[in-house]
Structure 1
Amino acid sequence: MSSLPFFRTKARTFFSLFAAALLAVLPVGCSMLEQTERELVFRIEPGTASWFRGLPSGVEELELTTPAFGDKQNIHAWWWPADQADAPALLYLHGSRWNLTGHLFRLEQIRSLGFSVLAIDYRGFGKSLGELPSEASVYEDARIAWDHLKSLQPDASKRLIYGHSLGGAVAVDLATDLGQATDDNAGARALIIESTFTTLADIATEVADTPWPIRWLVSQKFDSIDKIDQVRMPVLIVHGTADPYVPARFSQELYDAAQEPKRLLLIEGGTHNNSMRIGRQEYRQALDELLGKTPNIPG
């Protein structure tokens, strides 16, 4: 893995270009401004991740849709049931750039903890048909996927939400929405967010090496810090202490704002993508403690 300075240089370059591009299109109009911002926020890599070697046996490919989608939009998903019958089921929400093929390694790690996993590509990513994603569209996709997960695991006490990086903000939004539902069976057992941030403006300001006022330019808010205190389920917040993209202090701030029961797990030496692998036992223990060792998840 590359060094921390190299990663931070890449991040600073990205957000400096982000600010420059936004300022460049300001005279053209709000529509092009938002289009450019969304392109830079989601940074979609087309095709298959170079390290993807195919789907493991047992993974079912799904196409989720609604009548409003028509024939030009859908949500491509993977459903990977656990070996244990009626195992807890987890909705996996990924971050920017890579589609599902770039996330299989983490799905394998999650499933090894005893979960069945439903993972989606937002519209515009991978095999999911649709235009360039927006904050609103990825929130909608998460809700559609959650409705499908309820049919795969009808027991609300055995359903969890997981979000990584930008997907953490999507997960917080979904959990907030579920906390306001009147249907007792609509909710989740717990929320797990990893390597995520407080708001998009905060992370952009943190790493950008530019005098431009990025905070006031972003329209895609991904504002988890103002939502997380409305989450009405146990929350596990995980962050690697050596994350080169998103400082772990953002997870500390989210933890401070969240309601009990909650747990902050800082993985010593963990980076943006490897905390679950190098901190597997700590992860296992934190989940057991947060969930009160129910539902039963094999160690």
Structure 2
Amino acid sequence: MATGTARLLLKTLAGAGLLLQAGCSSVFFYPDRVSYITPDRLNLKYDDVFLDTADGETLHGWWLPSEASESNAKGTVYFLHGNAQNISSHLMNVAWLPQKGYNVFLIDYRGYGRSTGAPDIEGTLHDSETGLRWLMAQPQTDGGPVFLLGQSLGGALGIALASEWVQREEKPSLDGVILDGTFSGFRGIAREKLGSFWLTWPFQIPLSWSITDDYEGVDHIADIGPVPVMVIHSVRDGIIPFHHGEALFEAAGEPKRFLQTDTPHAATFVIPAYKDAATKFMEMSTKHN
């Protein structure tokens, strides 16, 4: 009879084999369809938004209007959330922005929340672009500044989206990009995580090879310039180590700003001073452009 350790090793080997066959981009995505909280529970006005993708999926999002009058909104923030749960569990990260005078648009990638389909890297990249194109076509954003805020996985998607948007000279243009707790690359973080556990350590290189390296953030973040970039990373981040933020900031072009924080992963905006730093960055970016 196999011991517990042997059984665990066999399961790990079997799982590694499946990942090698199917690719392991799925390790980045942990969606669910639970509704944790809705904007009305926070006394926020909102509209449900449903978008059709080119490959037949339907994405769900929320539009949160600024608490200032439409003509007096300071700008619009496009929020791309992290890899777990759905927009209802990430809402608190941006629920404070309407009171500060900003519209907010946030979407769920395919397979998350009320969005159809199943997530993968290419699909979520397309979803993030679908959301931005919808946002840029809305009358509420006409002539006003638009900022991209990506947390964790959302930041990695945001780098790829923003760099292509800038390089293709898409209009309207982005006015600023904020990256919070973002890893420096899909393949890089996968190899790092696999290498940190003794059972998966032998598979870190072959498994990471199954992940595309076309969207490594450190290779593309410089292409966002001259759009201003703010990199936020916590020295206490237990999910995405601090060196990822440092690497992204070093690779970014000017103008750029680094905000070192000391909260758990994706908990930046529970601290008023960090909210103020983000809004100040957006105000300065608007003046820069």
Q: Which residue of 2 aligns with 1:266?
A: 260
Letter in 2 for 1:58: K
Q: Residues 236 and 287 of structure 1 are in contact (CA less than 8 Å); yes or no, is this contact kept in structure 2?
A: no
Segments of 5+ residues of structure 2 without an aligned counterpart are: 1-8
Aligned pair partner of 1:77 in 61, 74, 81: 61
CA distance in 2, matches of 1:236, 1:260: 10
Aligned pair partner of 1:246 in 235, 240, 248: 240
Q: Which residue of 2 aligns with 1:4?
A: none
CA 1:171/1:156 → structure 2, altered by over 3 Å: closer, same or farther? farther
CA 1:48/1:22 → structure 2, altered by over 3 Å: closer, same or farther? same
Aligned pair partner of 1:209 in 197, 202, 205: 197
CA distance in 1, matches of 2:184, 2:165: 20
Letter in 2 for 1:252: E
Q: Residues 22 and 217 of structure 1 are in contact (CA less than 8 Å); yes or no, is this contact kept in structure 2?
A: no
CA distance in 2, matches of 1:209, 1:81: 45
Q: Residues 60 and 114 of structure 2 are in contact (CA less than 8 Å); yes or no, is this contact kept in structure 1?
A: yes
| Residue range with higher mean Cα deviation, 216-225 or 55-64 | 216-225
Q: Deviations over 1:240-282 (max 9, x none)?
A: 2211111111101100000000000011x2110221212x324
Deviation at 1:201, TM superposition (A): 3.0
Q: Which runs of 4+ in 1 moved over 6 A?
A: 16-19
**Secondary structure in 1 aligned to 2:31?**
coil
CA 1:107/1:287 → structure 2, altered by over 3 Å: closer, same or farther? closer
Letter in 1 for 2:257: R
Q: Which residue of 1 aligns with 2:277?
A: 285
CA distance in 2, matches of 1:231, 1:65: 27
Q: CA RMSD in A?
A: 2.7
Q: Residues 100 and 121 of structure 1 are in contact (CA less than 8 Å); yes or no, is this contact kept in structure 2?
A: yes
Q: Residues 228 and 285 of structure 2 are in contact (CA less than 8 Å); yes or no, is this contact kept in structure 1?
A: no
Q: Which residue of 1 aligns with 2:5?
A: none
CA distance in 2, matches of 1:17, 1:139: 34
Segments of 5+ residues of structure 1 without an aligned counterpart are: 1-15
Letter in 2 for 1:174: L
CA distance in 2, matches of 1:17, 1:175: 42
CA distance in 1, matches of 2:252, 2:235: 20
Q: Which residue of 2 aligns with 1:64?
A: 51
* Same amino acid, percent of matched pairs: 26
Letter in 2 for 1:258: A
Q: Residues 156 and 189 of structure 1 are in contact (CA less than 8 Å); yes or no, is this contact kept in structure 2?
A: no
Q: Residues 175 and 285 of structure 2 are in contact (CA less than 8 Å); yes or no, is this contact kept in structure 1?
A: no
* Pair 1:199-2:185 in alignment: yes
Q: Which residue of 1 aligns with 2:4?
A: none
Q: Residues 263 and 290 of structure 1 are in contact (CA less than 8 Å); yes or no, is this contact kept in structure 2?
A: no
Letter in 1 for 2:286: T
**Secondary structure in 2 aligned to 1:186?**
coil
CA distance in 1, matches of 2:280, 2:10: 43
Aligned pair partner of 1:160 in 116, 136, 147: 147
